[in-house]
Amino acid sequence: MDFSVKNFTLNFGPQHPAAHGVLRLVLKLSGEEILRADPHIGLLHRGTEKLMEQKTHVQALPYLDRLDYVSMMAYEHTYSLAIESLIKTNRLYNRMVLPTRAKVIRTLFLELTRLLNHLMAVTTHALDVGALTPFLWGFEERERLMEFYERVSGARMHAAYIRPGGVAMDIPEDFLNDVEAFNNSFCYRLNEMEEMLTNNRIWRQRLVDVGVIPLDVAKDFGCSGPMLRASGLVWDMRKICPYEMYKYYDWMVPVGSVGDCFDRFLIRIEEMRQSVSIINQTIRDLRIIYGPVKVRSGKLKQPYRSTLKFSMESLIHHFRFFSKGVTPISENRPFAVTEAPKGEFSVELEVQDNTHSFYRARLRAPGFFHIQALDVMSRNHLIADVVTIIGSQDLVFGEIDR
Amino acid sequence: MSSVFLVPITVLTFSANEFKNLIFLFKNSILTKSFLNDFTALDHPYLINRFELRYQLLSYLMSNRFSLQRRVHSRAYSVDNLFESANWLEREVWDMFGVVFVKNTKEIRRILTDYGFQGFPLRKDFPVTGFFQVRYSEKKKRLIYFPLKVAELSLRSARNVDNV
């Protein structure tokens, strides 16, 4: 008896729970083997770049929170760096210099954000592959992290806390003790999670040697973050072009060798451990370093309310800040690139002459490049492996579709 | 601003003729060995060469970024035979600006906007509100597009009109 097998096309998503949001994946299959994967993105497209062109520099900040809605502060931080580069640096004119305490707080929250993101990435990845327990444990920790967000900014997720010229306000009393308590217990939570996953036979069978992306291919696709490091390149913007306090702290960059899903998983776990170490160092510093958390100049930030009644300059800055936003006073082309938890996120702005809105705001989302590589990574794999690969790419459609 | 690190980024502007050789050189020269890290466009509607294309190449060896810029009228040579990452970036620029990429080796179709979308949203002559709105049609049992009905198409606020 002879029979022929036809290739057929399968729609994966956009409502599939393993598609991490709204990914429509058109799979061309031969049996269960994937011949071609064609991701259709854009189902969450909100036109952030166009909307940012309508806003002042200050008003555009909250859009950045909503890009990658699991690592909010990392994105608003990059935007803040880009805006700050509009202001001319001058060592003598120290009203523009960001206070050290602000930098340490930023570093603290960037690393808390990395935990927030990697917890989501690793545990939902495990959930997709079939392990429910790490997800439940991980989200308990995420809830604690979001409480930290809430305590400094009032919002659990879309904080708008890191702003051009510093952070919105100083951290509350007792905050450091709580972060420290969380941090110390978090190591054990990580150990528990690793007990469940790392040497788990099923987990290994599903991840090892699945979705291998060699280094030259990863570079060619513009992959960054854990995707690139898993393939074996030491490339972390926190080391290459250190911003904030990273160059003063002791930490290491984990690097993989194979470039498969398991490497990416291990790298995320190790990055979380490194983050815990960085957070400890920021807590140590924050206990010593006191002072303002915003630049002194009113060009970048809202002046203190108390000064409004006494200082004409403050009144002017107050008016300018809320009516016009930040006044660019340098010829720099505002550009900033940072190591967001998902990879390199860069903001490139084109400032219009004589106005206070952008001519063009370009946001380079790391996920956009990763999902482009999905076709190559999932070729000749089975359908179940596509779920693994999507999970290990750590996709969030807020940033991919923008 | 001491918190701002200076990203090593080199800006270079080129004409159309030299561009193709140049980007090839940047990719393959041992010194640079660059990869296409980002690609975007700017719209200057009053110029003949309306679109400014910005290719951002990243060299891992030099840890440097090169921003190669050129202006085009409406079409440009595709670079997707040189870089794997180019295809989606070009699709996005086509989708958002309507720049046509010729001599492409891969398919270039819309990427971020809806199936059957018309217009190029990031052009300066495209209003923020768009031209169409969407609703569910009970008769056709699907979503339909119909022309937007607002009194004023250009909803740029009064604040944006006056200059500083």
User: Cβ contacts (< 8 Å) between B110 and chain A: which residues?
Assistant: 42
Q: What would the pLDDT profile of B91-102 be if each residue is shown by its tens digit?
A: 999 999 999 988
| Cα A165 to Cα A297: distance, rounded to the nearest angstrom | 9
**Looking at residue A320, what is its pLDDT?**
82
Q: What is the mean pLDDT of residues A49-75?
A: 88
CB-CB contact of A100 with A244 (8 Å): no
Structure tokens at A255: 């690097």
Q: How confident is the model at residue B8 (pLDDT cuts 50, 70, 90)?
A: low
Alpha helices per DSSP H over B29-155: 86-97
Between residues A82 and B11, the one the model is more confident about: A82
**Looking at residue A331, what is its pLDDT?**
61
Can you tell me whether residue A81 is helix, strand or coil? helix
Q: What is the mean pLDDT of residues A262-283?
A: 93
Integer-rounded Cα radius of gyration of chain A: 22
Q: What would the pLDDT profile of B109-145 be if each residue is shown by its tens digit?
A: 889 998 888 889 999 888 888 888 888 999 999 888 8
CB-CB contact of A345 with A363 (8 Å): yes
Give the total number of structural domains in chain A: 1
CB-CB contact of A211 with A260 (8 Å): yes
| Cα A327 to Cα A357: distance, rounded to the nearest angstrom | 10
> Looking at the domain assignment, is residue A63 inside a domain?
yes
**Looking at residue A254, what is its pLDDT?**
93
Which of A79-93, A295-309, B119-133 shows the highest mean pLDDT? B119-133
Task: Please tell me the distance in Å from B24's CA to the nearest CA on chain A.
Answer: 14
CB-CB contact of A190 with A196 (8 Å): no
Q: Is the pLDDT of residue A120 over 60?
A: yes
| Cα A45 to Cα A399: distance, rounded to the nearest angstrom | 9
A241 and B1 within 8 Å at the Cβ level: the answer is no
CATH of the domain at A63: 1.10.645.10
> Looking at the domain assignment, is residue A382 inside a domain?
no
| Domain that includes residue A173, residue range | 56-87+98-211+261-294+326-357
A98 and B1 within 8 Å at the Cβ level: the answer is yes
How remote is the C-alpha of A271 from its chain's centroid? Answer: 13
Angstrom distances, CA of residue A94 to CA of A3, A98, A165, A169, B12: 79, 9, 12, 20, 32
User: Cβ contacts (< 8 Å) between A360 and chain B: which residues?
Assistant: 40, 42-43, 122
A85 and B111 within 8 Å at the Cβ level: the answer is no
Task: Please tell me the distance in Å from B113's CA to the nearest CA on chain A.
Answer: 6
- The beta strands (E) that lie in A165-274 are given as 166-167
Angstrom distances, CA of residue A392 to CA of A26, A118, A129, A260, A289: 19, 11, 10, 9, 38
CB-CB contact of A61 with A79 (8 Å): yes
> Could you tell me the strand order of the sheet in which A7-12 lies?
A7-12, A24-30, A33-40
In chain A, the percentage of residues whose pLDDT exceeds 70 is 94
* Cβ neighbours around A97 below 10 Å, total: 17
**Looking at residue B150, what is its pLDDT?**
65
User: So what's the ipTM on this one?
Assistant: 0.86
| Cα A396 to Cα A214: distance, rounded to the nearest angstrom | 23
**What single-letter amino acid sits at A68?**
D
Task: Please tell me the distance in Å from B26's CA to the nearest CA on chain A.
Answer: 13
Q: What is the mean pLDDT of residues A12-20?
A: 79
| Cα A100 to Cα A285: distance, rounded to the nearest angstrom | 10
Structure tokens at A293: 């958390």
User: Cβ contacts (< 8 Å) between A367 and chain B: which residues?
Assistant: none
Between residues A182 and B15, the one the model is more confident about: A182
B112 and A85 within 8 Å at the Cβ level: the answer is no
User: Cβ contacts (< 8 Å) between B40 and chain A: which residues?
Assistant: 348, 360, 362
Closest Cβ opposite residue A84 in set B3, B8, B38: B3
Task: Please tell me the distance in Å from A5's CA to the nearest CA on chain B.
Answer: 27
The answer to whether residue B88 neighbours chain A at the CB level (below 8 Å) is yes
B60 and A219 within 8 Å at the Cβ level: the answer is yes
Closest Cβ opposite residue B1 in set A49, A96, A327: A96
User: Cβ contacts (< 8 Å) between A240 and chain B: which residues?
Assistant: 63
Q: How large is the angle between the packed helices A133-153 and A100-129, nearest 10 degrees?
A: 160
Q: How confident is the model at residue A252 (pLDDT cuts 50, 70, 90)?
A: very high
CB-CB contact of A39 with A371 (8 Å): yes
> Looking at the domain assignment, is residue A344 inside a domain?
yes
Between residues A302 and B11, the one the model is more confident about: A302
> Looking at the domain assignment, is residue A192 inside a domain?
yes
Least confident of A12-26, A246-260, B8-22, B127-141: B8-22
User: Cβ contacts (< 8 Å) between B88 and chain A: which residues?
Assistant: 368-369, 372
**Beta-carbon pairs below 8 A across chains A and B:** 119
pTM score, whole prediction: 0.88
**Looking at residue A1, what is its pLDDT?**
64
DSSP H or E segment with residue A390: helix A383-393
Mutate to test the interface with B, among A253, A346, A350, A358 (most CBs of B within 10 A): A346
Q: Is the pLDDT of residue A143 over 90?
A: yes
Q: Is the pLDDT of residue B3 over 80?
A: no
Tell me the domains of chain B and their CATH numbers: 9-102 (3.30.460.80)
| Cα B18 to Cα A268: distance, rounded to the nearest angstrom | 43
> Looking at the domain assignment, is residue A223 inside a domain?
no
> Looking at the domain assignment, is residue A187 inside a domain?
yes
Look over chain A and give the mean of its residue pLDDT values, rounded to a whole number.
Answer: 87
**Pick from A308, A351, A303: which is nearest to A327 by CA?**
A351
**Looking at residue B9, what is its pLDDT?**
67
> Looking at the domain assignment, is residue A93 inside a domain?
no
Closest Cβ opposite residue A243 in set B3, B60, B157: B3
Q: What would the pLDDT profile of B31-69 be if each residue is shown by its tens digit?
A: 678 888 899 999 998 888 889 888 888 888 878 888 888
**Looking at residue A376, what is its pLDDT?**
92
**Looking at residue B157, what is its pLDDT?**
47
Q: What would the pLDDT profile of A216-247 be if each residue is shown by its tens digit?
A: 899 999 999 999 999 989 999 888 888 888 98
Q: Is the pLDDT of residue A261 over 80?
A: yes
Closest Cβ opposite residue A220 in set B35, B96, B122: B35
